[in-house]
Structure 1
Amino acid sequence: MNTNNEIPQEELLKKRAESIKTMFGSIVRVYDFLNALLSLNFDKSWRKFAAKTSGVKPNTKVLDVCTGTGDLAISYSKLLNGNGLVVGSDYCHDMLRYGLPKIKKRHLENKIKLIEADTLQLPFRDNAFEISTVAFGIRNVADLDAGIKEMRRVIRPNGRVVILEFSQPTNFLFRQIYFFYFTRILPMIGRLISQSKIDAYKYLPHSVLAFPDKLSLKRKMELCGLEDVKIFERTLGIVTIHIGKKP
């Protein structure tokens, strides 16, 4: 039974989810370009590394939540080389609409299925996949713990949850330089290029700074029922990849 305190929290989470959905829908036309800008053009190599490191094998079923325009799903499908299935889900319909032509261009439409779905309420049975993965999307999920638990729920025992996310660089000097670019230069460029009234690229740096650090995220994954969580840093700690196993 809901308590009086739970009802406002549920409404708050719903409003946040709708706000983020609207925000990403407003920048969908330039989303891929701005991702490259945000990542200093390392984003594709990070996704490829995450997919390879996850231990994907032939005939694996992979779920990529918060798939956006499908870049990580494409990386997985290429590794599977036609032997397996990748499902990409996203809460934002416009993202999926822009991702589909990319998939068709690579002749992967029979290997990658895109569906509109909320990561907090995935429309899949328990233990349906071997791997559930997310790139640069889990920090935008309204309830982080619930999102991780859903990713865990839909994978089989010994399956893996893979989280690729922006982090805070460990080198002090590089961190100062990167944060200046991240919080000052990037939002200005992003706003000019996207021409959106919704300041998504001001939100993104703040969302990264507010996100749990790598050790806190590791602990959170463990508390959500994952074990043997491993951390991989890339590009001086700009991003980290967390991989946890379902018992």
Structure 2
Amino acid sequence: MAQEKIAARIFDSVVKRYDRFLKFATFGFIDRWQEILVKQTPAGNFPLDVGTGTGEVVKKIHSIYPNSIPVGIDVAFNMLKKAKEKNKEKKNLFIRASAYDLPFKNKSIDSILTSLVFRHLEPDNAAREFSRILKDGGHIGILDISKPSKFIYGSIYFFANKIFRPIGEKIFSKDEYDYFMESIENSMTAKQLEEFFKEKGYSKVFMEKRFLGMVVIAVFKKEADIKF
């Protein structure tokens, strides 16, 4: 898809400064949020990290589930190189692949995790492919931007788009920063996310809001009769 080509170009260009920016933009909370995501998502033998980026979630999977063999996929080649460097001492696999065309057999993956990725995806197409490869009873764990109350969301969006933008554009280009701002606008509320996965045949097993409700960490379990 065209959007994936844009994402690949942007994330390939920011790989050297991405981790630093993410820690700064989340006031250092990103590591804690990812730890919660991984701990609350039963990994199984073969967990899949969609949009693995620089491999931080895979790194935490190794720490929390040492017997698992995680797989990380991303459309950005430079991100995958960085992820592989970070996790070179462990058993894992990194693949350049689309979330809409995953190179795995039906019902072959034990769990799927996404960290700050789901809002970038076309949700119906992504969920269909996730359901195809995920085993019955498997789990999807999502950490992402969420829309809280209109006042809080409006205030934080104003800060990100007006106050923080000059700093962001020193790290990224204007077009790259615009891409991130657009993705925030496309994010779901926690309730919308829960309803979306319920409609797809999943049950909620964990949900927690962080950062004044601007961040949601949620885990959903796949029921056995899902059609994909």
In the superposition, the TM-score normalised over structure 2's length comes to 0.89
Residue 87 (structure 1) aligns with: 71
Contact 1:167 1:214 survives alignment (8 Å)? yes
> For the residues of structure 1 that align with 2:48 and 2:221, how far apart are their CA atoms?
15
Amino acid at match of 1:166: I
Mapped pair 1:44 → 2:64 = no
62, 75, 100: which one pairs with 1:77? Answer: 62
Would you say 1:216 and 2:216 are equivalent positions?
no
Once the two structures are TM-superposed, the CA of residue 149 in structure 1 deviates from its matched residue by: 2.1
Alignment of 1:1-247 (within 5 A): 14-56=1-43, 60-81=45-66, 83-104=67-88, 107-108=89-90, 110=91, 112-141=92-121, 143-170=122-149, 172=151, 175=153, 177-194=155-172, 196=173, 199-228=175-204, 230-247=206-223
The TM-score normalised by the length of structure 1 is: 0.83
Secondary structure in structure 2 of the residue aligned to 1:84: coil
- 1:206 and 1:25 map into 2 onto residues whose CA distance is 19
Q: Distance in 2 between matches of 1:45 and 1:68?
A: 17
Alpha-carbon distance in structure 1 between the residues aligned to 2:220 and 2:25: 26
What is the rounded CA distance, in whole Å, between the counterparts of 1:185 and 1:32 in structure 2? 21
1:177 CA displacement: 4.7
How far 1:62 moved relative to its partner?
0.4
Distance in 1, matches of 2:154 and 2:120, equals 24
Q: Which runs of 5+ in 2 are unaligned?
A: 224-228
Distance 1:211 1:52 in 2: 23
Partners of 2:150 and 2:5 lie apart in 1 by: 36
Aligned-partner residue type, residue 62 of structure 2: S
Q: How many residues align?
A: 223
Aligned AA (1:211) = S
Q: Deviations over 1:183-204 (max 9, x none)?
A: 223332122124x4x5222321
CA distance 1:171–1:77, shift in 2 (3 Å): farther
Report the Cα offset of residue 244 of structure 1: 1.1
Structure 1's consecutive aligned runs of 4 or more residues displaced over 6 angstroms after TM superposition are: none
CA RMSD of aligned residues (A): 1.9
Aligned-residue sequence identity (percent) comes to 26
Aligned residue type for 1:42: F
Paired AA for residue 56 in structure 2 = D
Query: Which residue type is aligned with residue 183 of structure 1?
Result: N
Counterpart contact for 1:186–1:201, Cα < 8 Å: no
Partner amino acid for 1:60? Answer: N
Q: Hey, what's the Cα distance between the residues in 2 that align with 1:78 and 1:113? A: 16
- Aligned partner letter, 1:30: R
Quote the Cα distance in structure 2 between the aligned partners of 1:135 and 1:159. 18
Q: Give, in whole Å, the separation in 1 of the partners of 2:162 and 2:70.
A: 37
Residue identity in the other structure for 1:154: I
Task: Give the number of the structure whose alpha-carbon radius of gyration is greater.
Answer: 1
Aligned to 2:226: none
Distance 2:159 2:182 in 1: 13
Secondary structure at the counterpart of residue 199 of structure 1: helix
